[in-house]
Amino acid sequence: MMIPPRGDVLTESVEKKEKRHGRKSGLIAKKRTFEHPQIVLVGQPNCGKSTLFNEVAGYRSVASNFPGATVTYTRSHVRVLDRTADIVDLPGIYSLTSLDPAASEGQRYLLTHRVDVIINVVDSSILSRGLELTLQLLDLEIPLVLCLNMTDEAERKGIRIDVEALSRELGIPVVATVASRGLGVRELFNTALSAMRSPHPGRHLRFSRDVERIIGRLSRELKEKAGEDLPFSRHLLATKLLEGDAAFLELLHERYPGLIPRVETGARELALSHGRSAHEVINAERHAISMSLFERVAVVRKPVLHLKDRADSLLMHPLWGYVFLCLILGGFFYLVFKLGGLAEAPVLSLFEQLKTSLTARIPSGTLARALAGSLIDGLAGGTAIVLPYLLPFLIGLSLLEDAGYLPRVAFLMDTFMHRIGLHGTAVIPAVLGYGCNVPAVMATRILESPRDRFIATFVATLVPCAARMTIIFGLVGYYLGGLAAFAIYLINLAVIGLSGNLLSRLLPADTPGMIIEIPVYHAPRLRSVAAKTWFRIREFVYIALPLLLAGSLILTLVDHLNWSDLINGLTRPVTVLLGLPPEVGLTLIFGILRKELSMLMLFQALGTRDVISVLSAGQIWVFTIFVVFYVPCLATIGALYRQLGAKRTLFVVLYTFVIALMLGLAARGLAAVL
């Protein structure tokens, strides 16, 4: 299980501060100074912001290849060209209208924090759509630099962009980059630092006259009422109010309720004269401006087709798509299982040798010897049993993510996900859940409706994460064979399906349906995969291993003081019910701290790593099933609490406990029959 990355911790504290001063200040911008510049990266989802961020900030932000990978912002303190600056990676937003949590967060950040210069990152291969956001950013009247990213991809698609012409048209600096290869990145930040002092905030590209007339009128009315009290562009505010943006309307409601009827009049006028609602009119205008701008600055030729453009004819095929899905995911798990098993035995025997040679020097029967022995056992459990499975799994997951396969899985699985009242996008957090439930819970933010987010979060916590995978492979796989391990995954899928179905019946709703972009495949880059794997594995190294060692020592002490019976007595109801030896009780408590501990502490509690000599095959089976399902680990409970609040978190905890007990009992029955 993983603790959220550093950036999130920072976000938390910033968010808390906002809440404290919160409400009253609303959407009010901070003053700008040039000391310690604040550079903010803004762009549409999957345009390569995080890649760019990582290029300058070192690997701090998890870049992936699916839209909405960054759900909260990451700030990094860096030295850019001999100056210290803060670079902020905002979640991808399509527009400044607050439509989903990510967009609201982005919008709120831009309007309430000090921002000295915005770097607007655009995927050059889909420039015309990207410009729609650029137009709105220009309206913010904050120094702006346009970063034409992924120019290599645009070239491949046959799109050639005249950088200078675009810069002239927009009145802002434009820099072409290929962030994934570090091209143009230096120039970009150089330009951003000088643009910061620029008195020209860029040209405003205006809508057609009748639309501007209504925006202008509302803007004047805002000025009369509010004067200079609104430090950001009134043009933007008026436009967003006419578009019906909830956040801005709320601001108006709080401060100048008298202006609400003026907004309504304006919106009605627009709708009447254009025959469609005001927000449609404004969106259409913005779209038209972007399209014509694109045509003025870009030449589109025939694209160069690569293998990756044809891959989808197989990978998203009505039949072959599913065959490949099974092959890819099945092959992936099989490989992890095989590689892990291959490494497990030799590393274990290495530790065994170490233990005998080390403990031979300490007199037997003393506490010191017992402690030294348990320390080595703890270390052995962590490195020989967990790491061999965890490492290949996390590498594989990073590869699938970076290549861009996950949105394809969402496409293929949409129909099935509807059975549990969700749509295909919910597959992404579920798949990430196989790595770790914490980022999976956070990734549910890519879903729009709160109800969908709840069900998806619930499903994600049921998914056996990599830590639980090590238990499945290390115990059931190792002692009962691969088929039994596979059966646990199938049982788990069935439980997820039934639980999701049950929950969606309890919370019936028309889900708004899936819209997901299918990004171009990218060859995963070694650096990014390595960084991401390290990012995820370091939680194990820094948090799980020390906990594990401390746990081993505590267990030895508890044993030494003869307290184990006391503690195991508390968990007796569970162990008796499941037909497990009482010593197992303590390991279940450790398992709530971190899932893999329940297996590793099992070795300690039983006093051997050769579990089969103490537990029957049936008991191993029951233990594993119970551990896979019962209560999410502490880090996940923390993430759940933040996402769902106390009541629903408690529901998840109790539900998983009851399910685990029921399944454990059923497993015991099954084991008795076989």
Partner 1 sequence: MTQPEITLDQIRSGRTVRVVRIAGGWGIQQRLNQLGIHPADRIEVLRNGILGGPVLIRTHGIDMALGRGMARHVAVTADASKSGKPEADV
Interface residues with partner 1 (CB under 8 A) are 94-95, 97, 99, 125-126, 128-129, 132, 157, 159, 208, 244, 274, 276-277, 279-281, 283-285, 287-288, 291, 295, 312, 316, 318, 321, 407, 410-412, 414-415, 423-424, 448, 510-519
Distance CA 94, CA 622 (A): 48
CA-only gyration radius of the chain, Å: 28
DSSP state of 178: B
Q: How far is the CB of 45 from partner 1 (least distance, A)?
A: 10
Residue closer to partner 1 (CB basis): 417 or 460 = 417
Distance CA 49, CA 42 (A): 7
Q: Give the three-class secondary structure for 643.
A: helix
Q: How far is the CB of 332 from partner 1 (least distance, A)?
A: 22
Q: How far is the CB of 128 from partner 1 (least distance, A)?
A: 6
- Smallest CA-to-CA distance from 336 within 487, 485, 529 is with 485
Distance CA 224, CA 354 (A): 80
477-481 own/partner pairs: CB under 8 Å, 24+ apart:
477/337, 477/341, 478/341, 478/344, 479/611, 479/612, 479/617, 479/620, 480/617, 480/620, 480/621
Q: How far is the CB of 100 from partner 1 (least distance, A)?
A: 8
298 Cβ contact partners less than 8 Å away, ≥ 6 residues apart: 127, 159, 160, 161, 162
Residue closer to partner 1 (CB basis): 6 or 129 = 129
Residue closer to partner 1 (CB basis): 78 or 249 = 249
Residue closer to partner 1 (CB basis): 55 or 105 = 105
Residue closer to partner 1 (CB basis): 165 or 518 = 518
Q: How far is the CB of 126 from partner 1 (least distance, A)?
A: 5
Q: How far is the CB of 280 from partner 1 (least distance, A)?
A: 6
Residue closer to partner 1 (CB basis): 190 or 283 = 283
Distance CA 543, CA 516 (A): 35
| 507-527 per-residue burial string, b: 16 or more CB within 10 A, e: under 16 | eeeebeebebeebbbbebeee
Tokens standing for 345?
């035995």
Residue closer to partner 1 (CB basis): 421 or 579 = 421
Residue closer to partner 1 (CB basis): 429 or 519 = 519
Q: 545-560 and 584-593 are packed helices; what angle lies between their axes, rounded to 10 degrees?
A: 150
- Smallest CA-to-CA distance from 64 within 540, 397, 497, 381 is with 397
Tokens standing for 631?
């209560």
Distance CA 595, CA 602 (A): 12
- Smallest CA-to-CA distance from 89 within 43, 41, 57, 147 is with 41
Q: How far is the CB of 234 from partner 1 (least distance, A)?
A: 22
For 548, other C-beta atoms within 10 Å of its C-beta total 26
Distance CA 319, CA 556 (A): 56
Q: How far is the CB of 169 from partner 1 (least distance, A)?
A: 18
Tokens standing for 210?
């009748």
Distance CA 425, CA 383 (A): 35
Q: How far is the CB of 102 from partner 1 (least distance, A)?
A: 12
Enumerate the β-bridge partners of residue 121: 43, 147
Residue closer to partner 1 (CB basis): 382 or 424 = 424
Residue closer to partner 1 (CB basis): 423 or 532 = 423
Residue closer to partner 1 (CB basis): 133 or 631 = 133
Residue closer to partner 1 (CB basis): 285 or 401 = 285
Q: How far is the CB of 49 from partner 1 (least distance, A)?
A: 17
Q: How far is the CB of 603 from partner 1 (least distance, A)?
A: 46
Q: How far is the CB of 66 from partner 1 (least distance, A)?
A: 12
For 229, other C-beta atoms within 10 Å of its C-beta total 11
